[in-house]
Amino acid sequence: MKPAAFDYVRVRSVREAVDLLAAKDDAKILAGGQSLTPMLNLRLARSQLLIDIKRAEGLRSLAADDSVVAIGVGWTHAEIEDGVFEDPTRGLMRHVARGIAYRAVRNRGTIGGSLAHADPAADWVSTMAVLGATLVCEGAGGKRRHVAADSFLQGAFLTQLASDEVLVAVEVPRLSAQARWGYYKICRKAGEFAHALGAVIHDPARNICRIVVGATDGPPKLLPGTAAALAADPMSEALDGLDQEIIAALPEHEPAARRLHATAVRRAIAAMSTRMDH
């Protein structure tokens, strides 16, 4: 199918994009186009105006200090995979990028587009939640808002972004040299969207242990009880309370789906335990 007719504008600044979003009700940002263009083609989405931000100033920025790296949303999955800039997460972001779709999609798809699109099964959604990252949204008059990544999604394809805001950066906390991580997505073919996803970070030097279960049909869920048990005994893979915590976190899910999610989390923890080099 072909998309319904639309106008196209390539903007040079975020401010220009925000002004256009405010002026037109159904205007949409176009980043890598890897999710939006198939939806337009299938007429699952419609827009009279596409605002292409690929060349907007400042969206391929990097600003680092000792504890956080602010990554502009315009970096592609492929650039992250290739290590074009230093990975503040000791390899987690490169690992995640490598597992997204296939190279042609990764060449164009952006980290910001993935987060703003808010598919619950998307890799960056769960990754940024487990990292405790912060998303930076810019609205009218250049006003910026900071939103915790683990509360950015309000539901499937629904975020805290206002209709006239652009996601401009992701502030990713640095992991320490002692940190370890595990990431496991269950899908039928390599590079597919996950059916279930587990992600874990243990950074004793920063007193952080976080576990996320993702690809849940809604926002990723933190599992604080299991994370506390893991922090108390990092070599433990038993984690007796995990199944109960998954039931509480995913009350609407069928038992088989919950088992799949629990398996993804267990495998992420196991991957972390064997990954002593990170």
Ligand X SMILES: Cc1cc2nc3c(=O)[nH]c(=O)nc-3n(C[C@H](O)[C@H](O)[C@H](O)COP(=O)(O)OP(=O)(O)OC[C@H]3O[C@@H](n4cnc5c(N)ncnc54)[C@H](O)[C@@H]3O)c2cc1C
Site of interaction with ligand X (CB under 6 A): 28-36, 38, 53, 73, 100-101, 105, 108-110, 112-114, 116-117, 122-124, 161, 166-167, 191-193
- Between residues 44 and 235, which has the closer beta carbon with respect to ligand X? 44
Report the alpha-carbon distance of residue 147 to residue 124 in Å, rounded: 15
Nearest distance from C-beta of residue 145 to ligand X, angstroms? 12
- Between residues 54 and 206, which has the closer beta carbon with respect to ligand X? 54
Nearest distance from C-beta of residue 154 to ligand X, angstroms? 15
- Between residues 30 and 268, which has the closer beta carbon with respect to ligand X? 30
Which one, of 187, 173, 176, lies nearest residue 135 by Cα?
173
Report the alpha-carbon distance of residue 269 to residue 265 in Å, rounded: 6
- Between residues 124 and 183, which has the closer beta carbon with respect to ligand X? 124
Residue 81's SS3 state is: helix
Backbone angles phi, psi at 194, to 5 degrees: -75, 145
Show the 3-state SS of 161-195. CCCCCEEEEEEEECCCCCCEEEEEEECCCCCCCCC
Nearest distance from C-beta of residue 277 to ligand X, angstroms? 25
Which one, of 90, 118, 106, 95, lies nearest residue 29 by Cα?
118
Positive or negative, the Cα torsion across 97, 100, 106, 108? negative
Nearest distance from C-beta of residue 246 to ligand X, angstroms? 22
- Between residues 67 and 143, which has the closer beta carbon with respect to ligand X? 143
Nearest distance from C-beta of residue 218 to ligand X, angstroms? 16
